[in-house]
Amino acid sequence: MATYNGWTWDDYDLYKAVRGDTWDDIAVQAYGDGALMSVLLCANPELCRVVVFEGGELIRIPLIDEAASDELPPWRR
């Protein structure tokens, strides 16, 4: 199990980046919140220097444990 800043996950989905995608765009698509791009960055350290994707990169999208998210303050959910 991996953890980051109160979030935990055991598994992840893969997302194939589209040309022009950014971390916050992908976080909005995956979680509905661009601020959660930090979870994506933690799960994809080999891509952390990418700002705008060229397209075709495979990005791990952690499946966040709902129990852990319930313990976070409302502004972090």
Q: What is the CATH number of the domain that holds 66?
A: 3.10.350
pTM beyond 0.85: the answer is no
- Ranking 7-21, 30-44, 57-71 by mean pLDDT, the lowest is 57-71
Q: How many structural domains comprise the chain?
A: 1
CA distance 7 to 62: 10
Instruction: Return all residues near 21 (Cβ < 8 A) that are at least 6 apart.
Output: 52, 53, 55
- Is pLDDT at 36 greater than 60 in this prediction? yes
pLDDT for 9: 66
Tokens of 28: 């909005």
Residue that wins the pLDDT comparison between 67 and 18: 18
pLDDT of residue 64: 79
Contact by Cβ (8 Å): 15, 30? yes
The mean pLDDT of the chain is 84
Alpha helices (runs of H) in the chain, residue ranges in sequence order: 23-31, 37-43, 66-70
Domain housing 9: 2-76
